[in-house]
Amino acid sequence: MLILLDIDGVMLPANSWSKPEILPDGFPMFNSRSIRALHKIITETNASLLLTTSHKNNYTIRQWHSIFKVRGINAEMIDRLASDSLEDSRADEILSWYRTQHIPNEEFVILDDDKRLSELPAHIKNNLVLTSASIGLTDELADNAITILNRQRADSRTNG
């Protein structure tokens, strides 16, 4: 199981009135509600993280493990999309991943605030949990993500 994870607008709500706290590793502190919600998804599904964020290439995978761990999220497996969202749109990056790297019947959910992802093909968009950029990931959205992952698991067992 995979969580395709954006950071800005998901783990870091975009609040123009407050400046995020920067931790010693140089990355902002995640929103506490979003931390609890992501932890819930990982705990209930044992999903791995696949970073789709524009920050993904700013840190090594080892540094990402540390960034998440310091913020209270212990993800066993973290990877990132190979492409660079400064050159491709997030939707193009996800489509490319799906076509070239996605393993058939591997459950995945996309956590993102980019409304343009609603233009993805239905078989991919059905796995999208769209956050509000100013609120980020919530417990209710985490439940939606868990439902999507569990539905896919049930579908793959029925069709497999």
Residues 6+ apart with CB under 8 A from 18: none
d(CA 137, CA 151): 20
Name the token pair of 136.
């980020």
Cα-based distances in Å from 120 to 6, 48, 90, 123: 16, 22, 10, 8
Residues 6+ apart with CB under 8 A from 156: 105, 107
CATH of the domain at 50: 3.40.50.1000
Question: Per residue of the chain (160 residues), what is the pLDDT tens digit?
Answer: 999 999 999 999 987 667 888 999 999 999 999 999 999 999 999 999 999 999 999 999 999 999 999 999 989 899 999 865 556 789 999 999 999 999 988 999 999 999 999 999 999 999 999 999 999 999 999 999 999 999 866 665 655 5
Show the domain range for 44. 2-159
- What's the whole-model pTM score? 0.92
Total number of domains constituting the chain: 1
